[in-house]
Amino acid sequence: MPTGDTPDAFLDELAHQRRASPHTIAAYRRDLRLLTELTGAAPLAAVPPQQIRRFAMQLHGRGLAPRSLARTLSAWRAYYRWLARRGLISRNPVEGVRAPRAPRTLPKALPVDQVQALLDAPANDLLELRDRAMFELFYSSGLRLAELAGLDVAPHLDLAEREVTVTGKRGKTRTVPLGRQAAEALAAWLRQRATLAAADEAALFVSRRGGRLSAGQVERRLARWARQQGLGQHVHPHMLRHSFASHLLQSSGDLRAVQELLGHASIRTTQIYTHLDFQRLAQVYDAAHPRARKK
């Protein structure tokens, strides 16, 4: 068994005393081997904080992604904490060293015409009638995948009032409106639902076997539907939620209303859609402004 203050001793303790997974051990081993390479002949216990910062800058300069760099720093931090518990160092040199913030990727929204093509396609059988109702509901009300899959016929759906009540993240319940076309698609599905649903099944959307449709099944059905309509790209449920938010914000400009409809706890989460809207405006500007068009 390894002894002393070596990374091998640290990894051995992780594996045998803390029961860390083989995946975790392998990742830590790679990250600590990298630290050993960067320090060269210098003992790891003597590396000062400023040197750790330089190492982080070097790795970032080599093209290491912010998330990967954050993982590497986390492994180094854990090793130095282990040394500190053993009394071998007085200060963890990695504390306070942070990776650059990863760029926030903007959600992908479908253009309005592609959404129209997706939702206007006719349903050719009972399962497609169900699918069309699901996809109309996604786009009409901006639901999350888990929220839609968890819907029951009652008390969640109220076609008379054209609204649906869902339970979102952290158990928060919200009621959102249904568009006319979504309400019509849901009504058409409900008239046929009993031919598939088991007698005691409460779920709004059921599989051909009569039980609740799983989230994975919903994803696969949407991907299949998009392929059939020739959209030429993979379409997933969250893309319809993004499209709902983006298109609604473009039309209304009401960020607070979009936040409430999406069930976001923080307005900061909703604000990402303002960037989407700006991207669209920038594209219009580049295409139309006399001083922006390329000659």
> What are the residue boundaries of the structural domains of the chain, listed by start?
7-85, 112-286
Helical packing angle, 112-120 and 126-141, nearest 10°? 150
Phi, psi values for residue 74, rounded to 5°? -65, -40
End-to-end CA distance of the chain: 71
Query: Is the distance from CB of 16 to CB of 24 less than 8 angstroms?
Result: no
Over the chain (295 residues), the average pLDDT of each successive run of 10 is 73 86 90 93 89 92 89 94 92 89 73 93 96 96 92 95 88 88 96 96 97 96 95 91 85 76 67 54 48 48
| Type and span of the H or E element at 284 | helix 272-288
Specify the CATH number of the domain 112-286: 1.10.443.10
pTM: 0.59
Query: Is the distance from CB of 79 to CB of 5 less than 8 angstroms?
Result: no
Give the pLDDT confidence score for residue 273 in this predicted structure: 60
Give the pLDDT confidence score for residue 78 in this predicted structure: 93
Q: Point out the residues that are catalytic.
A: 144, 169, 238, 241, 264, 273
Domain boundaries 7-85, CATH class: mainly alpha
